Structure 1
Amino acid sequence: MYVAVKGGERAIDNAHAWLAEERRGDRAVAEMSVAQIREQLSLAVNRVMAEGSLYDPDLAALAIKQARGDMIEAVFLIRAYRTTLPRFGASEPIDTGAMTCDRRISATFKDAPGGQILGPTFDYTHRLIDFALAAEGDAPDAPQTTPQTGKTPHITEFLAREDLIQTEPAGTETPRDLTREPLDFPADRALKLQALTRGDEGFVLSMAYSTQRGYGRNHPFVGELRVGQLPVEMEIPELGFAIELGDITVTECETVNQFTGSKTEPPQFTRGYGLVFGHTERKAISMALVDRAMRWQELGEDNVGAPAQDEEFVLSHSDNVQATGFLEHIKLPHYVDFQSELELIRRLRAEAMATRAQEAAE
């Protein structure tokens, strides 16, 4: 056993060295810097920050580089690092109405109060490969625009004035922190939203898509989608007031959903909600759709058995780090387990053959 363990250690050390060599690639090609990843692969950086629950573009870019572009491995690295950080306190709730918007659109009102801002988007591109990018030339200068400042009202506020959309209850307690407490069921809405924010984008997208295809009676409109910068503030007990720590970029989505009423609620529109670190539109919209699907019990709707309505199914399987760990552990040695299975199959097979031989003799 000692020799086998020592041999295994040498093999692992060599595997790590080989991994580092593969990560570097052809040394005739210039190495990609963390700054380049941060600035030119910003959507990948945003995803790693969101699913890693840590807002640090430089650290996320470094994790992507270390993981050779494997997003889930990069998220794993970020979460592992996050557990080593001290916790000094909690920031004040952010006010998304005060967002400096780079992008703000509504699919429900053409002339939205405060205006629509198309911003940087793939929505109207032709999805054709741009071979000019292979020339590594400078990108054309974007037109100069004046950032939107001041309060930008939410679209749903105008529906609320006419009592056409469900009123959200005001929170009275500090939400539980999913990064410090285990997930258990039933989960309140704040905990569900945290889990969806950290959830794998592909999984949350597939759940959202299922609701659009009829598995959950979810007919959404994007009431508003906004991307922009927000200040983060923290109250300092010694000072007695909050100070600004810095700005973060977030994506917020509110969906407006049809609702014909129930035994407890009148006919009105209802909401789905998504808020994610960085410019992460697909995730925020998906999150809003799944959030609405899981609210069936709160709204007095029938559970039609759709996967997206099952909070335990959705939240237990959305965490890509947890899923990856459980999936990939089967690559590791299971020699003893397999040998016991092998012996069992041999014994059952011998017993079955003996029974058949006996039946044939009779």
Structure 2
Amino acid sequence: MYVAVKGGERAIDNAHAWLAEARRGDVSVPELSVPQIREQMTLAVNRVMAEGSLHDPDLAALAIKQARGDLIEAIFLIRAYRTTLPRFGASEPLDTGAMAVSRRVSATFKDAPGGQVLGPTFDYTHRLIDFSLAAEAQANPQAETAEAPPPPRTPHIAEFLDAEGLLQPEREDAGAGAPPDLTRQPLAFPATRALRLQALARADEGFTLSLAYSTQRGYGRNHPFVGELRVGVVAVEAEIPELGFAVEIGDIELTECETVNQFAGSKTEPPQFTRGYGLTLGHCERKAISMALVDRAMRWQELGEDFAGAPAQDEEFVLSHCDNIQATGFLEHIKLPHYVDFQAELELIRTLRREAAAGPDPVKEAAE
């Protein structure tokens, strides 16, 4: 029988107070400030912005602090706050070719125009704990670099393959018109590539990484080259109706990845390379590469390839399960009260056990 819980509101208030105490931790330790999180935990901040679909480093840092470092909870906070913001316009398409790159690497061309810029990366570290970082106060010398500053405009690697006709040109979604807005319209299938990329851009990094890894292991036959991975700042422009032209309103940091995949050709297409694409807010290169691999895997139908039955090729599977906020909500709701549901199932199990213990009913069997 269901019994109403009394004192629930008081218990919740006490849980909130305890949460605030746990979040603060030992009061003898200096409190972590939002600027410290923003400046020293930038990759966590960038992930929260990317998957929260809102570019605001201060707000993302505050959400991380409030969430006690739980990034999915912080993303949830950002998503919720995002819904309260007015939509006053849309920016012009970003020109990533004009990106002021801080990192640019290619696995396909060693001497690409614009050069390779290693930038801030863990790729060449030894993955050994640096105990000197535990020092309370340490010198912060400026890192010396021998890398030359990048040119004003850094061409995309794909442009060189395009020039020889070796890379399949990007196609507009037939009859798609303006790209749909996933933040304002429910997800619908079949999804256009623009909609798939939107979903992947704010998908959970771990889920996307696992799918991308599965394609490399054979579940989708997708083992590409990284044509180019670039991280940098791009100007954001918006058209002002009163002026009749676009003006720069700010800049944001982005990570962009283009992968190059072999394509054997078809009856209508010659052998050439195809591409996967990933673009995220902030410095999130693992996510951008994963996104590009999954994007390419889901293009099998467009390219006339056979469906191998791989999870990463199934757009309904990928797009319906990649959002960590939806997944978290459905997963964690089962820890909330389900007294009535459980009592119904409990009574059903007891009834079945009683019937099994009593043995077959001769009257009922005769009637059947």
Shorter-chain TM-score tier: over 0.9
For 1:73, the equivalent position in structure 2 comes to 73
Letter in 2 for 1:111: D
Q: Is 1:89 aligned to residue 89 of structure 2?
A: yes
For 2:12, the equivalent position in structure 1 comes to 12
Q: Which moved more, 1:164-173 or 1:221-230?
A: 164-173
For 2:218, the equivalent position in structure 1 comes to 214
1:166-205 map, 5 Å:
166-170=168-172, 173-205=177-209
- Aligned with 2:332: secondary structure? helix
Q: Is 1:125 aligned to residue 118 of structure 2?
A: no
1:1-362 map, 5 Å:
4=4, 7-136=7-136, 137-143=138-144, 147-170=149-172, 173-355=177-359
Q: Aligned-pair distance for 1:141?
A: 1.5
The two structures have a TM-score, normalised by structure 1, of 0.96
Q: Aligned-pair distance for 1:287?
A: 0.2
The one-character-per-residue Cα deviations of 1:156-211 (angstroms, maximum 9, x if unpaired) are 11101111010112467321111111111100000000100110000000000000
Q: Aligned-pair distance for 1:93?
A: 0.4
RMSD value over aligned CA atoms?
1.6
The one-character-per-residue Cα deviations of 1:21-54 (angstroms, maximum 9, x if unpaired) are 0000000000000000000000000000000000
- Aligned with 1:140: secondary structure? coil
The one-character-per-residue Cα deviations of 1:203-241 (angstroms, maximum 9, x if unpaired) are 000000000000001120000000000000110101111
Provide structure 2 residue ranges, at least 5 long, that are not aligned to the other structure: 363-368
Q: Aligned-pair distance for 1:75?
A: 0.3
Q: Aligned-pair distance for 1:348?
A: 1.2
CA 1:221–1:9 in 2, change beyond 3 Å: closer, same or farther? same
Distance, in Å, in 2 between the alignment partners of 1:73 and 1:138 is 34
Q: Which moved more, 1:248-257 or 1:349-358?
A: 349-358
Distance, in Å, in 2 between the alignment partners of 1:75 and 1:262 is 43
Distance, in Å, in 1 between the alignment partners of 2:157 and 2:312 is 26
C-alpha contact 1:231 1:244 (8 A) present in aligned 2: yes
Q: Aligned-pair distance for 1:147?
A: 3.9
List 4+ stretches of structure 1 deviating above 6 A: none
Distance, in Å, in 1 between the alignment partners of 2:361 and 2:241 is 84
The one-character-per-residue Cα deviations of 1:133-167 (angstroms, maximum 9, x if unpaired) are 00131333211566424211111111011110101
What is the count of residue pairs matched by the alignment? 357
Letter in 1 for 2:245: F
- Aligned with 1:180: secondary structure? coil
Q: Share of identical aligned residues, percent?
A: 79
- Aligned with 1:347: secondary structure? helix
Distance, in Å, in 2 between the alignment partners of 1:170 and 1:185 is 18
Distance, in Å, in 1 between the alignment partners of 2:44 and 2:177 is 34
C-alpha contact 2:114 2:151 (8 A) present in aligned 1: no
The two structures have a TM-score, normalised by structure 2, of 0.94
Letter in 2 for 1:294: M
